[in-house]
């Protein structure tokens, strides 16, 4: 398994992340082509060399030439949906922007659909977020670890005037994560950097032993007096045993609530919204409540850092008066996404590696449904074609 470890001793921002990934081997040309792939005009990505303290580093700047409109979350969603991005990168970018919008909405007492992104019409943020997810995908990164990010101190000028550091949105995004304020009076971890970490880091702990293959060094915009303003990313492969399909153990949050006075159709419609908001899984179980009333038991599994925002969503969008939350460990199979070409078009599959090293593929339902609707064929026929194409491509029979 290929992993990346972000060393956030001087914080993290979107441009530092892009620069570190380029320094680690992501082709600069792929990043420079990203504005066009996102459909952005008057936006240019410039990659250069820089020095921060004793470090030779890579610098990435997103230059905005044309005036950019104010963009809300639905504008961002539309841009990402139409962009030329791999499916996994697009999904992660959606999740990061959802987190950013939720944090900004909480800071301003608004809603995710009403807040707008300030960074020159979100062009900066679009390149940073989509670029980071594309870079991880291009480098084949399957799991991300990070050291506790240093947030910084003091205050900084923003679109809302002078605000304290760390920025309120960055603080909310990193709830549940280990952090340090540090001794530097500067904004070291930006909201975009915090959103990236909150989206891609599975566990806030050192990685297992791995073979170090590449090191990337990304420069921040400023040259700090007290320490090098860089983000390092270390990329490598885990041990052979882990790569062969060893189980991984992960800390998750389990949210539960019982509903006996809610419309079951409304609760069912909430499930995809919870998954879009970052839940790892969600389910509704019929149950018998007090006094023999029929009810629903709603269970959500999520990363620990997402528990608070998902609990608020449950309380806002159901009739629940309280949500129980606990932390559990769960063992997981290693998994990755794959795409195959079928007679009905491209289909995405989820491929799991079993403990004995064998692999098991299951077509993603939404991908199957889209292909089936385009071709006018039954779902089962498309799913079977996808499995057959995957098996042929992996030497697993006809």
Does residue 166 have a cis bond before it (omega within 30 degrees)?
A: yes
User: How many Å apart are CA 138 and CA 283, to the nearest integer?
Assistant: 33
- Residue 290, burial from CB neighbour count under 10 angstroms (0-12, 13-18, 19+): exposed
- Judge whether residue 138 has pLDDT over 90: yes
What tens digit of pLDDT does each residue of 3-36 get?
Answer: 999 999 999 999 999 999 999 999 999 999 999 9
User: How many Å apart are CA 187 and CA 169, to the nearest integer?
Assistant: 12
Which residues lie across from 353 on neighbouring strands?
334, 359
- Please report which confidence band the pLDDT of residue 120 belongs to, taking 50, 70 and 90 as the band edges: very low
CA nearest 37: which of 1, 70, 86, 88? 86
Q: Which tokens in the block code for residue 227? A: 């320490």
What tens digit of pLDDT does each residue of 35-84 get?
Answer: 999 999 989 999 999 999 999 999 999 999 878 788 889 899 999 999 99
For the chain, the average pLDDT equals: 89
User: How many Å apart are CA 51 and CA 229, to the nearest integer?
Assistant: 9
pLDDT score at 304: 82
What tens digit of pLDDT does each residue of 95-105 get?
Answer: 999 999 999 88
The average pLDDT across 249-254 equals 83
- Within 109-205, residue ranges assigned H as helices are 123-138, 168-173, 191-200
The three-state secondary structure class of 20 is: helix
User: How many Å apart are CA 4 and CA 205, to the nearest integer?
Assistant: 12
In percent, the amount of the chain with pLDDT more than 70 equals 95
The average pLDDT across 172-179 equals 91
Half-sphere exposure of 384 (CA within 13 A, CB side): 6
**In this structure, how many other beta carbons lie within 10 angstroms of the beta carbon of residue 360?**
12
Q: List Cα–Cα distances, 163 to 5, 116, 121, 158, in angstroms.
A: 30, 17, 20, 7
The answer to whether the CB of 290 falls within 8 A of the CB of 298 is no
CA nearest 275: which of 304, 296, 306, 251? 306
Which residues lie across from 274 on neighbouring strands?
none
Task: Tell whether pTM > 0.95.
Answer: no
pLDDT score at 71: 86
pLDDT score at 291: 84
pLDDT score at 159: 63
User: How many Å apart are CA 128 and CA 204, to the nearest integer?
Assistant: 22
Angle at 59 between CA 122 and CA 41, to 5 degrees: 35
The average pLDDT across 303-319 equals 90
For the residues of 214-275, what is the DSSP string, one character each? EEEEEE-SS--SSS--EEEEEEEEE-HHHHTT--EEEEEEEEEEEESSS-HHHHHHHHHHHH
Read off φ and ψ for residue 181, nearest 5 degrees.
-75, -35
What tens digit of pLDDT does each residue of 211-238 get?
Answer: 899 999 999 999 998 899 999 999 998 7
Cα(first)–Cα(last) distance of the chain, in Å? 27
The average pLDDT across 100-124 equals 80
CA nearest 31: which of 62, 1, 74? 62
User: How many Å apart are CA 131 and CA 59, to the nearest integer?
Assistant: 14
- Please report which confidence band the pLDDT of residue 398 belongs to, taking 50, 70 and 90 as the band edges: low
User: How many Å apart are CA 116 and CA 150, to the nearest integer?
Assistant: 26
CA nearest 129: which of 240, 13, 242? 13
The average pLDDT across 290-314 equals 90
- Judge whether residue 1 has pLDDT over 90: no
Half-sphere exposure of 60 (CA within 13 A, CB side): 31
Helices (H) and strands (E) in the chain, counts: 13, 17
Least confident of 24-33, 110-119, 317-326: 110-119
């Amino acid at each position: 398994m290929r992993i990346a470890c972000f060393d956030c001793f001087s914080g993290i921002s979107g441009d530092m992340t892009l620069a570190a990934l380029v320094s680690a081997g992501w082709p600069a040309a792929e990043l420079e082509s990203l504005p066009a792939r996102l459909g952005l005009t008057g936006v240019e990505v410039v990659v250069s060399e820089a020095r921060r303290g004793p470090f030779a580093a890579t610098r990435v700047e997103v230059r905005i030439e044309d005036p950019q409109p104010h963009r809300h979350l639905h504008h961002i969603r539309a841009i990402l949906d139409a962009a030329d991005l791999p499916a996994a990168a697009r999904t992660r970018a959606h999740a990061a922007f959802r987190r950013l919008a939720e944090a900004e909405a909480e800071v301003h007492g608004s809603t995710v659909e009403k807040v707008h992104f300030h960074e020159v019409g979100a062009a900066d943020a679009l390149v940073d977020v989509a670029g980071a997810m594309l870079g991880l995908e291009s480098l084949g990164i399957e799991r991300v670890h990070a050291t506790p990010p240093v947030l910084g101190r003091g205050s900084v000028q923003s679109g809302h005037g002078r605000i304290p550091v760390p920025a309120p949105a960055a603080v909310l995004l990193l709830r549940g994560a280990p952090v340090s304020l540090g001794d530097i009076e500067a904004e070291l971890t930006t909201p975009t950097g915090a959103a990236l970490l909150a989206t891609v880091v599975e566990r806030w702990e050192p990685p297992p032993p791995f073979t170090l293959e590449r090191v990337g060094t990304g420069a921040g915009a400023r040259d700090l007096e007290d320490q090098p303003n860089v983000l390092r990313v270390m990329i490598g492969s885990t041990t052979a045993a882990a790569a062969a399909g060893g189980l991984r153990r992960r800390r998750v949050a389990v949210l539960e609530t019982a509903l006996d006075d809610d419309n079951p159709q409304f609760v069912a419609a909430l499930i995809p919204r919870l998954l879009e908001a970052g839940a790892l899984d969600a389910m509704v179980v019929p149950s018998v409540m007090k006094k023999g009333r029929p009810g629903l038991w709603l269970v959500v599994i999520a990363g620990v850092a997402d528990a608070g925002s998902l609990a608020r969503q449950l309380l806002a969008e159901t009739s629940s008066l309280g949500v129980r939350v606990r932390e559990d460990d769960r063992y997981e199979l290693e998994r990755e996404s794959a795409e195959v070409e079928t007679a009905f078009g491209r289909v995405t599959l989820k491929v799991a590696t079993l403990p004995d090293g064998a692999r098991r593929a299951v077509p993603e339902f939404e991908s199957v449904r889209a292909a089936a609707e385009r071709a006018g064929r039954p779902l089962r026929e498309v799913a079977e074609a996808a499995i057959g194409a995957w098996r042929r491509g992996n030497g697993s029979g006809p």
